Amino acid sequence: MTAMVKAEGVHKSFGPVQVLKGIDLEVAPREVFCLIGPSGSGKSTFLRCINHLEKINSGRLYVDGDLVGYRQKGDKLYELKDREVAEKRRDIGMVFQRFNLFPHMTALENVIEAPVQVKRESKAVARERALKLLDRVGLADKAGNYPSQLSGGQQQRVAIARALAMEPKLMLFDEPTSALDPELVGDVLDVMRGLAEDGMTMIVVTHEMGFAREVGDSVVFMDDGVVVESGHPREVLTNPRHERTKSFLSKVL
């Protein structure tokens, strides 16, 4: 079975600062893969490398068997053109800490925007799917609301619906609930749990250890640009082997 994401010795620096120092990991199709670790350990950078918002310095990164950002011919690598990179990126949905909805568009318009503009889908088809997606994230009755008329948790669920509208094969979540008031977190996590149940492959950077334990198939603890420890959530979260993992967990649990 082809891994959905495979990293081999991935290195990334910003100038002289090494942020990723050789990341090796594999995410299987349909897996919910939770990435935890202290601030500055390189979690967001790694996500950004997966959809080629950042270019890696060395190593290999594959999404669904394809090298990210390059085409391989024999043993030579050729960089993809911007247009080709953009095409690949469409298969990957990304949800950030801040919702980044278009403020001048309703929830529905936010969700149909990319399918219509990027995929050249008809408005009718896009609209029908968008309404289903808004229903799926529990916002069927908010389709006509502008972002300013929605709570943070509702905006984040629109952002998830918007990412799903492109029918991605992989979803990346970068601390999707950490900007939310505590009472709004649950609804967003419930939507993510539903996605997991439907078999979506997900990489989730999160501080929600409850979510990682209940929904995660695996947990990776990253620190200072390396994978310190990985495995089943039960092992990593309840029985960590490394001091660094123990010390991190004692602070967040």
Ligand X SMILES: Nc1ncnc2c1ncn2[C@@H]1O[C@H](COP(=O)(O)OP(=O)(O)OP(=O)(O)O)[C@@H](O)[C@H]1O
Residue 102, contacted partner among Mg ion, ligand X, none, CB below 5-8 A by kind: none
Q: For residues 174 and 187, which CB has a smaller minimum distance to ligand X in the complex? A: 174
For residues 24 and 27, give the distance between their C-alpha atoms in angstroms, rounded to a whole number.
10
Q: For residues 40 and 199, which CB has a smaller minimum distance to Mg ion in the complex? A: 40
Residue 10: partners with Cβ closer than 8 Å, 6 or more residues away: 20, 22, 23, 24, 46, 49, 56, 58, 59, 60, 61
Q: How far is the CB of 195 from ligand X (least distance, A)?
A: 22
Q: For residues 44 and 206, which CB has a smaller minimum distance to Mg ion in the complex? A: 44
Residue 144, contacted partner among Mg ion, ligand X, none, CB below 5-8 A by kind: none
User: How many residues does this entry show for the chain?
Assistant: 253
Q: How far is the CB of 41 from ligand X (least distance, A)?
A: 4
Residue found under tokens 């949800």 = 95
Residue 41, contacted partner among Mg ion, ligand X, none, CB below 5-8 A by kind: ligand X
Residue 156 sits at the vertex; the CA angle it makes with 181 and 113, to the nearest 5 degrees, is: 160
Verify binding: residue 44, Mg ion, rule CB under 5 A: yes
Verify binding: residue 206, Mg ion, rule CB under 5 A: no
Q: For residues 92 and 107, which CB has a smaller minimum distance to ligand X in the complex? A: 92
b/e code 21-36 from CB counts within 10 Å (16+ = b): eebebebeeebbbbbb
52: left (phi over 0), alpha (psi -120 to 50) or beta: left
Beta pairing, strands 5-14 & 17-27: antiparallel
Q: By the criterion CB under 6 A, which residues form the site for ligand X?
A: 14, 17, 19, 37, 39-45
For residues 211 and 35, give the distance between their C-alpha atoms in angstroms, rounded to a whole number.
12
Residue 216, contacted partner among Mg ion, ligand X, none, CB below 5-8 A by kind: none
Q: For residues 114 and 179, which CB has a smaller minimum distance to Mg ion in the complex? A: 179
Residue 40, contacted partner among ligand X, Mg ion, none, CB below 5-8 A by kind: ligand X
Residue 240, contacted partner among ligand X, Mg ion, none, CB below 5-8 A by kind: none
For residues 249 and 240, give the distance between their C-alpha atoms in angstroms, rounded to a whole number.
9
Q: For residues 41 and 154, which CB has a smaller minimum distance to ligand X in the complex? A: 41
Q: For residues 109 and 208, which CB has a smaller minimum distance to Mg ion in the complex? A: 208
Residue 42, contacted partner among Mg ion, ligand X, none, CB below 5-8 A by kind: ligand X
H helix count then E strand count, the chain = 9, 12
Q: Residue 42 in 3-state DSSP? A: coil
- Contacts with Mg ion by CB under 5 A: the residue count is 1
Q: How far is the CB of 97 from Mg ion (least distance, A)?
A: 8
The binding site for Mg ion (CB under 5 A) comprises 44
